[in-house]
Amino acid sequence: MSKENLSRGLKNRHIQMIALGGAIGTGFFLASSSAIQMTGPSITLAYLFGGLIMYIIMRALGEMTVDYPTSGSYIEYAYRYIGNSAGFIAGWNGWILFTMACMLEVTATGALLDYWIHIPHWITCLVLLSVFGSVNLIGVKYFGETEFWFAGIKIAVIMFMIVAGTWLILTNKIVHTTALHNIQQYSDMQVFFMHGFSGFVYSLVIVCLSFCGAEFVSVAAGEAKNPKKIIPTAINGVIIRIILFYVLTMAVIVLMYPAKDISDKTNPFTDVLFKLGFTASAGIINLVAITAALSSLNSCIYVAARMLYRLSLNKQAPKYFSKVSDTHSPKNAIFFTILIAFIAVIMNYTVPQQILVYLFAIITVATIIGWYIILVTHMFFRKKKAKEGVTLEYRAPFYPYTNIFVMLVLLGILIAMAYNEDMCLSVYVAPIWLIVLFLGYKISIRQENKLKLKTK
């Protein structure tokens, strides 16, 4: 197994912001209204439950990361503790997931820019992928600094939203009266769960996917200065903050507005700023949403390239991708990731209306597969460490019950998605995608065996 040759240039503040920024993406600013529409005021409970699910996944991943910090993250752990096939599937699934996420974020940015200026989306994609690919190539510390400030802007706006919304509820007579009326209405469970249990479960799809990216902290561990100290702090602190940010923001929104009146056309973030006297509130929120998209784009390029780099070191991708630059960045892996992400340029030119639907379906499936792999790998990891008699420095609580619980919840979400017209495409893609990954592994094994025979 080849050793990594990456720079350890990420500081504690970079790691904290990478973890926070990764889990607060564009969807939080653009899709929150849709999630509320699905389940009503119980969206607060949905985000609390989703945060718990993500916390369990992160603790399982964090336990393995502290034991063996690597930029390969759960790819390397699947490879080490389950076997070659699991490492292959985890790696290529992860690489596709975050490469597709790059495509989604540049497409979303192009749509957001339409608010001010109508530039063909394919041009926006071309420029942004080139710029952020260059940032990742320069060196990891520059990536860390860029992400630190982008993520900081997102978090500052969310905190402002919570404080400003609370201030309006307490001091503005109209908003205060509305909030009291809403509290009274929400005591009725039929109002609290606006569309019943099924609506609550459907909202969990958006909620859980909004947390996707929190696992970035494990990938960044491979280039952190003191991962064994930083990672536990990052995971414990970040998850609590994410839950607070999401839950408190949603609570403020459903107190200020009757949940039944919030539609896809409602942007509560914009309205709060407008009530505070910011007449250009829509423009401000649009700018923040663009910042969120660029932050996610930056992180997704970083993570996808590191996954491809790790696959190469494990001889499950061409050796070409294991080469690093003078600044110890996996330059070829970054180039190739950007090259594939350029498909978004072509798709935005040829099928601009359908691209988001296709990307969302693949990303949903790949995300859930990735989480399953983390939880199953953790169970294999625990068995191995128990046999070796190793005492772990950082332990996930209530193992293995928490792993089993989350896997059952994710299965339930997939079943519910199959019955939803807007979400069923993702479920249909899942078995096809797994078959493609498995066939890819078989082909790679066959090629490897042929090479071995030739060298004999």
pLDDT tens digits, 16-53? 666 666 667 666 766 677 788 888 889 899 988 988 88
Confidence of residue 336 (pLDDT cuts 50, 70, 90): very high
* Mean pLDDT along residues 392-417: 89
> Six-digit token pair at 178?
């509305």
Residue 454 has pLDDT above 90, yes or no: no
Long-range contacts of 31-35 (CB under 8 A, 24+ apart): 31/206, 31/210, 32/249, 32/250, 32/253, 32/268, 33/262, 33/263, 33/264, 33/265, 33/266, 33/267, 33/268, 34/206, 34/264, 35/203, 35/206, 35/207
Q: Which of these, 36, 58, 109, 102, lies nearest to 366 by C-alpha position?
A: 102
In a domain? residue 6? no
In a domain? residue 3? no
Could you give the number of structural domains in the chain? Answer: 1
CB atoms within 10 A of CB 410: 20
> Six-digit token pair at 355?
């691209």
In a domain? residue 378? yes
In a domain? residue 450? no
pLDDT number for residue 408: 94
pLDDT tens digit string along 239-274?
777 777 888 888 888 888 887 777 666 566 676 666
Q: What CATH number corresponds to the domain at position 333?
A: 1.20.1740.10
pLDDT number for residue 451: 64
Computed over every residue of the chain, the mean pLDDT equals: 81
* Mean pLDDT along residues 98-115: 84
In a domain? residue 7? no
Q: Which of these, 108, 117, 97, 16, lies nearest to 294 by C-alpha position?
A: 108
* Mean pLDDT along residues 82-94: 89
Q: Using CA atoms, how far apart are residues 200 and 186, in angstroms rounded to an integer?
A: 15
pLDDT number for residue 455: 62
pLDDT number for residue 406: 94
pLDDT number for residue 276: 65
Q: Which of 108-112, 146-150, 450-454 has the lowest average pLDDT?
A: 450-454
**The model's pTM:** 0.85
CA angle 60, 61, 67 (to 5 degrees): 100
In a domain? residue 382? yes
Q: Which domain holds residue 441?
A: 12-445
In a domain? residue 217? yes
pLDDT tens digit string along 338-357?
999 888 888 888 877 777 77
Residue 12 has pLDDT above 90, yes or no: no
In a domain? residue 197? yes
Q: Using CA atoms, how far apart are residues 448 and 52, in angstroms rounded to an integer?
A: 42
pLDDT tens digit string along 175-226?
889 889 988 988 888 888 988 888 898 888 888 777 777 777 777 666 666 7
* 456 or 134, which is more confident: 134
